[in-house]
A and B are shown apart, each in its own frame.
Chain A
Amino acid sequence: MASIEFRGVVKVYDKKNLVIDDLNLLIEDGSFTVLVGPSGCGKTTALRIIAGLEEVTKGSVLIGDEDVTKKEPGDRDVAMVFQNYAIYPHMTVKENIEFGLVNAKVPKAEREVVVAAVLKQVGLERHVDEKPSKLSGGQRQRVALARAISKKPRVFLMDEPLSNLDAKLRNQMRRELVELHNKLKTTFVFVTHDQIEAMTMGDCIVIMCDGRIRQKGAPQRVYNDPDNVFVARFIGDPGMNVYPMEGGGFFGFRPRKVGFAGSGDNGAGVDASGDDGPADNASGDDAVSWPGRVAAKEILGSEVLYCVKTKLGDVMLKTSSAGRGMDDLATVSVPRKNLVFFDQNEDRVRDENEIRRLAGGRLGA
């Protein structure tokens, strides 16, 4: 077990492509940290730098209290699960796991014990002597996982390990990984572009964009209290509705925090008060509303996601009532207390007076 620390890490590819720009990050010992961001944001590079598969251009990397910047990948005491598993296709499941142990000169008797234990842990006991080509995608993933566990590393690195699995299996593996983390209590660093994976698995989320960290924090905190427009839009499914304001800066609200106003519809008689969301009673003086027309409707099961075209732009609205149909006229309404404000630089405005001033003004010219 160990913490990981980036100190002023810069990574430049081919002398011109800046991938990571002055990264300073402390990944705490025993945490399940998720690096998340759109493709090309530098999250995988950051992970590969921890593994030692990528050299830093500037700065240093520490695992525990030890500077590993110049160490070989094999000497860092880390294990990694790759996106396409990277298990050895010509070796059996057992040989795959044993390979690293043999290289580390673990005696045969001990190897047998470790292999049996990790195979049991991932539920592959019956496939010991099979070649990977005989296994399903999920089973291969487990081989990769077993190989990582067998090394008892200080740090587990995972590079989008679930992206090649189908949706059902992905959900299951997500839970299993969380359980595994609870059992091993080792530091996990998990890279993904999928914010749902990040939200559901991590106890700490690091949101990256263009080689820089945009926000770091617990999932709930990052969701409720985004530091900037990028994080607000990236986290959440769908992300926050964010619109520019007249005098510069931006304001936004979550799709779950906006509702249909009781009037202005096409007479279908369905009232926003029928909604049970936080946007209930979203009318009156303390709310702002915009008339619009329903442009898209997605039924998600327990909830319905609407896209309403207003003069603000497209407003995403999540509610539990499915009363509106396509092309219905509808007015969306948000309580002023649900609004979030950002300044010209897209950074969050947290000053109380400033918020009061902005919230009282005309919104969405």
Chain B
Amino acid sequence: MRISLSGWASNGLRCPDVEIKLAGKSGEPAKVALVQMPNGTGKTTTLELIRATLTGQASTWPPTRIRDYRRPGDNRDKGEFRVALLLDRRPLTIELILDFENGTASYRTTTPGSGGVVGRWQPPPSVLKFLTPDFLHLFIFDGEFADKLLKQDAGRADEAISALCQLDLLDIVAQTTESQWKKRTSQGGGKTAAALTKLNGLRDALLRRRSDLEKARDVAQRKIDAGSVAAADLTKKIADRLGSVEATRVQHAEAILALQGANNAVSKASGEVMDLLRMPLAVHKSFSESLVELRDNLDHLKLPENTSAQFFADLVQEPDCICGRPMSDVARDEILKRAKGYLDMEESGTINALKHDITMFVAAPGDEPAYVLLERVLKELTSARRQQREADQTLRALAKKLIDEGDELLKEWQDTLGTLETELARCKQVLQEINAPSGEDTDEPIMSMKLVEKKLDEVGKDIAKLSETVDLRSKTDIIEAILKQAARLARDEIRAELVQESNKRLSVILANDPLRIDRIDKSLHLANQSGASVGQKLSVGYTFLMSALNRGNNDFPLIVDSPANSIDEGVRRNIGKLIPELCTQFVGFTINTERAGFVQALEKVCEDCLFLTVFRRTEGTKRLERTLPPVGVTKTDNAVLVNNRDYFMSFDLTDEKDI
């Protein structure tokens, strides 16, 4: 971006009421403009107001500071200062209005073509980063800043490099990277690799548990399969034994018969109980009573109109009514008239279906209600189970009898069967636990395969989410490390190049002085000396800043307060020669004692020079008004502005009588 200063205007302030236009021969801001303002004309005030106007900082000033800018003896309530810039040749005007009565500052920004006039400090976003107090120090340059460039704790040299060589852009990228990371992980949860390791450990444990449970299930199933066959074989052997021994044969046959009958009865009753338990009507009589009450309270005798109206229309066309009687005109009229009373909205179809279903499922008066049926079947099941146990006990008693009588083989079979049945029950219990629904998570080892699967699924999702977070952190760290390293490398390289370039210029400016820059870190370090004169500091500051400005890709005006003060004439000449080469626009606030050497050197290398002289109109300066040139003079109530090279060169406030 190229920023040029077109001019400024002051009205009602401590500095003279004057409008400075920096237009050169081409109409664009002159490459070099020297504004000669004798001491006491408001040079420092003008520079302060240029800074305050461009940065918008005056809105934070206290009332006392604002009133400090009021011209003594002036009754006006307000003072205004206006700065005109060109941003890539597009005008931007910022006005600062100081209200002395209220002690407030306000702004007005004019951006033709994009936004017009707004009643606040609002420069375009693209220029905002350049209109900060720190940045303005770089192009509104004074001896104080030159001094700070050499002070170790001020860090101004590094700030200048960051701003002018765009290293501060790396900070913006780093800040965006970190803020995006925070934004994406603001939902909470683990964010670290340690948390991910923990989750992976949990997942491994669950996978091992699943594997163990699969093995346990296989073992249990194999045992059940094999044990069931062995148990059936033993049961058969025991039964054959009991059936073959004379003493138990008859009782055994009866008990077997009773057991078979009881088994059948238990099976039948169980099936019926299960069927009935699926019906709420059978579980409790309240269900059927409530349903009947609901049915009886629903609309009576209504048909959905959209599907049933046609029925009546067709019926009256029939020769006979649905009741069997011939269809007469009287019946036809009556049916059509009364049909409306039986037709209703579409919902009546659903209501009719509901009523029909309730009637179907609820027992008709006199029939056995479902809940009574369930009570009866449960009693039958209880009875069948009792018979089953009795038959089983009889069989066991018969076996015990034979064992007691010394049947060792039967005893062995019986013991083996007992052990086998215990093991089978245990295996079935294991299988039941493994195949159980997921259930509740407890501190006990997980037995349910479904619960293991569910937890695996959850931890898998957590790992996926955390992996993404950890991945994002790793990438963020990589980007930040790259930016940090790039900033270090770029800074080192730029510092080295700036030392070289600055020393090259210093060798021209200070041709008779061995002063050189040794290195740059936070500040500038001089070679072979710790201190420097004011002139030396100014020269070093110029060369450094000019080199940095020249290096950057943005063009700024270099506005300097007393550019040649405290510098001897030879050095002034050398600086003057270099200035036009190093910046696109140079504005210097001078006093007459700075002209020697400096102005001539500037004119030699730059054709587009503007020479302005400003002085206050007082009793003491009346004599100066008598010698004004015929053209290029602007007078206000309290100041005179002269745009004339010769007047500039000969201007001297000192009265001849004073010499």
Answer yes or no: are A and B bound together in one complex. Answer: no
Please give the residue numbers on chain A whose beta carbons come within 8 Å of chain B beta carbons, in ascending order.
Answer: none
